[in-house]
Structure 1
Amino acid sequence: MTQTIGNPLSWLAQSLGLTSAHVSKSVTHLGSDEASAAPIVNYLEFSDLRAALKAGVEDFAACRSDAMFLILCYPLIGIGLVILSLQVNLLPLIFPMILGFALVGPAASVGLYEMSARRAAGFPPRWSDAFNVLRSPALLSILTLGFYLAVLFTAWLLVANGIYSRTLGPEAPSSVSSFLLAIIQQSEGWKMMFWGGLAGTVFAVTALAISLVSFPLLLERNVGLPVAVATSISVVRKNPQVTLTWGAIVAVAIFLGSLPAFAGLVLVIPVLGHASWHLYRQAVC
């Protein structure tokens, strides 16, 4: 059957209307801790990363999640680019903001997890399945964890701005070319890159640890937010090399996808989102 893309606003309104019936369940789910649903953490191999990426590409092709991401996120990206182009003092934060996508990416990919889960269950893929998360009993837990990631993202920007102020700053660069030349030619620029890279790594590992499998686990099982986060941390602790490699893959992919005016994120984010679901299925049973 040929798939069509309906009015996204009508889909959203319908989903929000149904969501109100699940508010009480979400409140209960937030602190749920059922021993019978205790997750078991598996050992991962590098081959699992390749398998997850392959499955992510297949889900991307089947679910047409590029259309969903284009509709929902491109206006926001466009507004952000306009603001950045008008505010010279935000120039030193462009690179931290690009890498910040990796911090909040798991929260933005919740709908993609839902699409992959329904496809794995044998349902015909539809991009509108992403809105099923609005009717999930785990909605409040998901929103809470997403808020924590947003706070982490804000803290990262504040730290990055502080590093710039103590090295090349505090004055804003006069132009893009002067800013790039200062980074390359001045010792303070190299200091900024070193300390910025070190701080960014700390924030990225923290976000990876608390969110690697938390969101898909909340969607699939009746576990509370503390159990989901603890399980995600356990996955990273049990598989440090594989999970850190996955984090590096995500960061590099998002950076490369951001270079052509963020256009590549239309492909990168959906593929990584779908792949993250399949990696979760390998990591937790």
Structure 2
Amino acid sequence: MQSAATTAAQHQPIEVRRVGIGAPFRWLAAGLRDMVAMPVASLAYGVIFAVVGYALVTLSSSRPHLLSAAVSGFFLAGPFLGMGLYRLSQCREAGEPTTFRDSATIWRSNPWSIGLFGVLLAFVLLSWERISAILFALFHGASLPVTDGGWTDVLLSAADPAFIAVYLAIGAALAAGVFAISAIALPLLITGPIDPVTAAITSVRATLANPGVMLLWAALIVALITLGMLSAFIGLIVAMPLVAHASWHACRDLTLER
């Protein structure tokens, strides 16, 4: 049974702050310092991201709608995948020692809320896979584009202008919604007994309070992860930990008084 104090803490509104337009670059700089201070643990996560990403894309390359869903998954599920890295940054900020193993089990600090948020992101990913399949079927019918080239060739082979326009419009709308509810939600969930609804609402409020800043932040994330993928996924070894560490500092900057 939860105590009344714990329940109240879970639902207490979290104050959000407005920050300057240059804040995303400050978050990246702080994230880079975290990586330099904890290179083994940070890059270990990066290697996992790169290997899993390469495997998913390779296995789905013969089915364009699955491939597009796998590529999009890096952006939609990124906040959940970075939890261990948030923990590393949290411990460094507090001056506490931690290990890769400790950071990998951070979900135990708030399992119910983190689990529910994970289910939400999984539902979004599955929904996007189905939407992707429907769009490919509507525009290409039974003649799905097939190529013997790499995964980028598979995507480019479907470059029908009308299809690309509709696909990007729907994908962008979905991605914007996911970004708004998750930009700082998971870093918040590892800090205490916060419920997923409060975390998601706080993330949306922070995004709406800083629209230009968060648009820039989203663009930087997309650019870094895209570059990581285009480098045969090797760049993800650095890009994913950098973005995750920086996301922790974004959360702190947007929700805490200095």
Counterpart-to-counterpart distance in 2, 1:169 and 1:58: 49
The equivalent residue for 2:104 is 131
Residue pair 2:46, 2:239 contacting (<8 A) in 1 also? no
Q: Secondary structure of 1:227's partner?
A: helix
Counterpart-to-counterpart distance in 2, 1:34 and 1:181: 49
> Is 1:230 aligned to 2:205, yes or no?
no
> Is 1:197 aligned to 2:168, yes or no?
yes
The equivalent residue for 2:230 is 259
Q: Secondary structure of 1:34's partner?
A: helix
1:70-128 deviation line (CA, Å, top 9, x unaligned): 5644553354244235xx2x134423421221110000001111110000011245433
> Is 1:150 aligned to 2:122, yes or no?
yes
TM score, norm. by length of structure 1 = 0.79
Q: Secondary structure of 1:274's partner?
A: helix
2:246 to 275, 279, 283: 275
Please, which runs of 5 or more residues in structure 1 have no aligned partner? 1-23
2:79 to 103, 106, 124: 106
Counterpart-to-counterpart distance in 2, 1:42 and 1:148: 26
> Is 1:170 aligned to 2:153, yes or no?
no
Q: Secondary structure of 2:143's partner?
A: coil
1:50 to 9, 25, 44: 25
1:134-189 deviation line (CA, Å, top 9, x unaligned): 431x12211210110111111112212222211133322231568567545xxxx0
> 1:63 deviation in Å?
1.5
> 1:129 deviation in Å?
3.6
Aligned identity (percent) is 26
Indicate the larger mover: 230-239 or 270-279: 230-239
Counterpart-to-counterpart distance in 2, 1:243 and 1:50: 12
Residue pair 1:99, 1:255 contacting (<8 A) in 2 also? no
Matched letter for residue 17 of structure 2: N
Residue pair 1:63, 1:125 contacting (<8 A) in 2 also? no
Counterpart-to-counterpart distance in 2, 1:99 and 1:35: 31
Counterpart-to-counterpart distance in 1, 2:104 and 2:201: 26
TM score, norm. by length of structure 2 = 0.86
Q: Name which one, 1 or 2, has greater alpha-carbon Rg.
A: 1
Q: Secondary structure of 2:142's partner?
A: coil
Counterpart-to-counterpart distance in 1, 2:241 and 2:84: 10
Higher relative contact order (CA 8 A, sep 6+): 2
The equivalent residue for 1:218 is 189
Q: Secondary structure of 1:167's partner?
A: helix
Residue pair 1:69, 1:270 contacting (<8 A) in 2 also? yes
Counterpart-to-counterpart distance in 1, 2:136 and 2:108: 43
Counterpart-to-counterpart distance in 2, 1:207 and 1:181: 25
Matched letter for residue 176 of structure 2: V
Number of residue pairs matched by the alignment: 251
The equivalent residue for 1:61 is 36
Q: Equivalent residues in 2 for 1:17-56 (5 A)?
A: 32-34=7-9, 38-56=13-31
Matched letter for residue 201 of structure 1: A
Aligned CA RMSD, in angstroms, stands at 2.6
